[in-house]
């Protein structure tokens, strides 16, 4: 069906505070309703927004499920999500109701890979523990045997999900002397494999059993929910570390907390959680865990780039064209 250019300015409802420059541009281009105090919307507010809006701009903190979409007004034609992950949106229901969905891929790849690398370094080298010790005032000075961590150089990094971010992590990790291993739905192009000197593991179980560090870089989909299940976590070696900058749901968080508590694995660096912003209380008690508040892509530059992508997606859509970052269920 041919798309038509909208005759009036579309009503764009943005669920969270975005960088000023993005909000200003949105207001220039569209009839825009902002959320200046940045309070996360409750489900009732989201429902009101989908009833009124032509375009909704949600973030990871908004659950756009079948129940919400069932109440969408006839004008809602585009969900232009601010972020790359789309697991907070029921894509199948959106499609069946004729609502297009876009995201912001690519612009947060390098920032997220940096944060992943930061966690890969921070956990084995006990960065957070070190800073806590100094700040506590209890540091008594250098000692040959205090704060010993584990060497990064020469270890094996297993990347679960070799997409844009996984590849960017691999490129960084090579500079730190890690050998690259990966598991992915599809084997990557041989040129990329040879550039990274990467070893492909068809069996995730096998890969997990042989790694020193495992980094989660796949999206959360029904197929990846609890991919690191209690059974798979048991395959990890006791000296292994896990880093997750993707989505908490990919790991069975309870089982992970139990494994860490029992010292069945050596540590974890987590930027994302299964029930954000709630954190499993067991994790909070552990020293061998670095916990970050979902800040993998949190750079000013990244947020502005994400906002610009949102604007381009909305503008092309309302002008009657296919938006560049259209998300289809078949992509996942």
Chain positions contacting ligand 8YV, by CB under 6 A:
59-60, 82-85, 108, 296-297
Between the CA of residue 249 and those of 96, 179, 204, what are the distances in Å?
25, 27, 17
Do residues 53 and 13 lie in contact, with contact meaning Cβ atoms separated by under 8 Å?
yes
Q: Residue 132 — left, alpha, or beta (φ > 0 → left; ψ -120 to 50 → alpha)?
A: alpha
83 vs 161 by CB, closer to ligand 8YV: 83
Q: Which of 183, 247, 274, 303 is catalytic?
A: 247
Q: Which of 174, 187, 294, 326 is catalytic?
A: 294
85 vs 158 by CB, closer to ligand 8YV: 85
Closest approach of Cβ 64 to ligand 8YV, in Å? 12
Closest approach of Cβ 196 to ligand 8YV, in Å? 23
Closest approach of Cβ 87 to ligand 8YV, in Å? 8
47 vs 60 by CB, closer to ligand 8YV: 60
276 given a catalytic annotation: yes
Helical residues (DSSP H) of the chain, grouped into ranges: 20-29, 43-52, 66-70, 91-96, 109-122, 127-136, 164-175, 190-196, 204-210, 230-233, 253-261, 281-285, 300-318
Residues 6 or more apart from 118 whose CB is under 8 A from it? none
33 vs 187 by CB, closer to ligand 8YV: 33
Closest CA to 55 of 79, 38, 85: 79
3-state secondary structure of 49: helix
294 given a catalytic annotation: yes
Closest approach of Cβ 42 to ligand 8YV, in Å? 17
252 vs 305 by CB, closer to ligand 8YV: 305
30 vs 273 by CB, closer to ligand 8YV: 273
Q: Which letter does DSSP use for residue 94 in this model?
A: H
Between the CA of residue 103 and those of 16, 59, 111, 313, what are the distances in Å?
15, 10, 17, 8
The torsion of the CA quartet 173, 175, 181, 182, rounded to 10 degrees, works out to: 50
129 given a catalytic annotation: no
Do residues 33 and 9 lie in contact, with contact meaning Cβ atoms separated by under 8 Å?
no
Closest approach of Cβ 144 to ligand 8YV, in Å? 40
Closest approach of Cβ 301 to ligand 8YV, in Å? 13
C-alpha 216/C-alpha 250 separation (Å) is 8
Active site residues: 247, 276, 294
């Amino acid at each position: 069906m041919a798309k038509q250019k909208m005759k009036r300015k579309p009503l764009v409802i943005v669920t969270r505070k975005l960088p000023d420059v993005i909000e200003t541009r949105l207001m220039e281009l569209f009839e825009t309703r902002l959320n200046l105090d940045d309070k996360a919307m409750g489900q009732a507010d989201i429902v009101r927004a989908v009833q009124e809006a032509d375009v909704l701009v949600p973030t990871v903190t908004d659950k756009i499920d079948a129940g919400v979409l069932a109440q969408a007004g006839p004008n809602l034609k585009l969900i232009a999500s601010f972020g790359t992950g789309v697991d907070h949106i029921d894509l199948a229901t959106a499609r069946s109701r004729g609502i297009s969905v876009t995201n912001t891929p690519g612009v947060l790849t390098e920032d997220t890979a940096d944060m992943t690398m930061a966690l890969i370094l921070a956990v084995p080298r006990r960065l957070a523990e070190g800073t806590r010790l100094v700040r506590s005032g209890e540091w008594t000075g250098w000692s040959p045997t205090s704060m010993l961590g584990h060497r990064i150089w020469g270890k094996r990094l297993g990347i679960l999900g070799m997409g844009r971010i996984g590849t960017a992590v691999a490129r960084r990790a090579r500079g730190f002397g890690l050998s690259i291993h990966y598991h992915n739905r599809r084997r990557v192009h041989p040129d990329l494999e040879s550039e990274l000197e990467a070893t492909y593991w068809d069996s995730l179980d096998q890969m997990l059993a042989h790694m020193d560090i495992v980094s989660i870089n796949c999206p959360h989909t029904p197929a990846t929910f609890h991919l690191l299940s209690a059974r798979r976590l048991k395959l990890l070696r006791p000296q292994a570390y896990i880093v997750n900058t993707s989505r908490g749901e990919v790991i069975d968080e309870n089982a992970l907390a139990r494994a860490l508590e029992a010292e069945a694995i050596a540590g974890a660096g987590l930027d994302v959680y299964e029930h954000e912003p709630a954190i499993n209380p067991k994790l909070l008690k552990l020293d061998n865990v670095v916990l970050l508040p979902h800040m993998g892509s949190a750079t000013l530059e990244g947020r502005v780039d994400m906002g610009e992508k949102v604007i381009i997606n909305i503008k092309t859509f309302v002008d009657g064209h296919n938006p560049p970052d259209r998300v289809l269920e078949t992509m996942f």
